[in-house]
Structure 1
Amino acid sequence: MGMPIKLRHVPARLAAGAFILNSGLGKRNLPPEGAAGLQQMGANAFPQLKELSPQDFGKLIATTETALGAALLAPFVPTWLVALGLGGFSTALLRMYLRTPGLTAEGSRFRPSQEGTGIAKDVFMLGIAGTLLLDELTSRKRS
């Protein structure tokens, strides 16, 4: 019986998983004003987030990031599944980046401003997700 994940997936899953897990754990006790700030940015991309209280939004984002980070680190969770989760998560972050005023450089739709660089770097997570998913879809299954 082979490994549940391919050895070549371990570095990408470790890097993304540790980063996201740490981020989620760091948001567990967000003060209300911190949660409200994140919620406001999120609502630029997903207006329905305005319907949550800042405390509920803070719990949602902390739980989501913690669960995704843990799933990426857990070798028994299939790579195709964590790749889909990471792809959805990073796409949502990039949508927020593109829709939040001040995060892109003046006169540019995509190039980050100094304030936007921290979020624009999430394009790497989308690249990791795409690589993992493409490898899963194009690899031959062994009996």
Structure 2
Amino acid sequence: MSISEIALRAIPGALIVNSGVGKLQLPAEVSHGLHQAATSGIKAIEKLPADSFARNLGIAEIGVGGALLAPFIPSRLAGAALTTFGAGLMTMYFNNDENTEADGIRPSQAGLSLAKDSWLVAIGLGLMFFPSKRK
């Protein structure tokens, strides 16, 4: 694994695992808020129980971050997980008009925190399509 590949995996992986661990013990009212925000991007999430949504999201984040951190997981597979995760976050960005300026692309102040998740998609695609050469 190259140094650049390690950086592309370790830094987002550690941040995503940390985010997931932080969601495991959130109160039900916070979980409801996260559930409501997520349904703005992915309507099917409405069917999931809101009171346990944060815990389930945390477990998923730990899985994605863990795949990035585990050197035995191929970069293409870890990149696919990261791309899927990031794309889910981007649906929340694009499906809420308050997140973008009038052009529907540039982030508004409210959407800035979600717009930065586009980096996760870019990193995931990089890992999927430009993995280091193995001998």
TM over 0.5: yes
Specify the structure having the higher radius of gyration (Cα): 1
Give the aligned partner of residue 132 of structure 1: 127
Give the aligned partner of residue 80 of structure 2: 84
Report the alpha carbon displacement of residue 122 of structure 1 after superposing the two structures with TM: 0.4
**Alpha-carbon contact 2:97-2:104 (below 8 Å) kept:** no
Give the aligned partner of residue 113 of structure 1: 108
In the alignment, structure 1 segments of 5+ residues that lack a partner are none
Matches within 5 A, 1:64-75: 64-75=60-71
Give the aligned partner of residue 31 of structure 2: 35
Distance (Å, rounded) in 2 between the aligned partners of 1:126 and 1:32: 29
Give the aligned partner of residue 94 of structure 2: 98
**Alpha-carbon contact 1:41-1:100 (below 8 Å) kept:** no
User: Is 1:45 aligned to 2:48, yes or no?
Assistant: no
User: Is 1:63 aligned to 2:54, yes or no?
Assistant: no
Q: Please give the secondary structure, in 1, of the residue aligned with 2:57.
A: helix
Report the alpha carbon displacement of residue 69 of structure 1 after superposing the two structures with TM: 0.8
Distance (Å, rounded) in 2 between the aligned partners of 1:94 and 1:128: 14
Of the structure 1 ranges 90-99 and 50-59, higher mean CA displacement relative to structure 2 is found in: 50-59
Deviation >2 Å, runs of 4+: 5-8, 139-142
Same amino acid, percent of matched pairs: 33
Distance (Å, rounded) in 2 between the aligned partners of 1:141 and 1:52: 41
AA of the residue aligned to 2:103: S
Distance (Å, rounded) in 2 between the aligned partners of 1:32 and 1:56: 7
Distance (Å, rounded) in 2 between the aligned partners of 1:101 and 1:32: 27
Distance (Å, rounded) in 2 between the aligned partners of 1:26 and 1:15: 17
Residue deviations 1:63-113 (CA, integer Å, cap 9, x gap): 0001111111111111111000000000110011111241112x1201111
In the alignment, structure 2 segments of 5+ residues that lack a partner are none
**Alpha-carbon contact 1:49-1:57 (below 8 Å) kept:** no
Alignment size in residue pairs: 135
Distance (Å, rounded) in 2 between the aligned partners of 1:56 and 1:133: 31
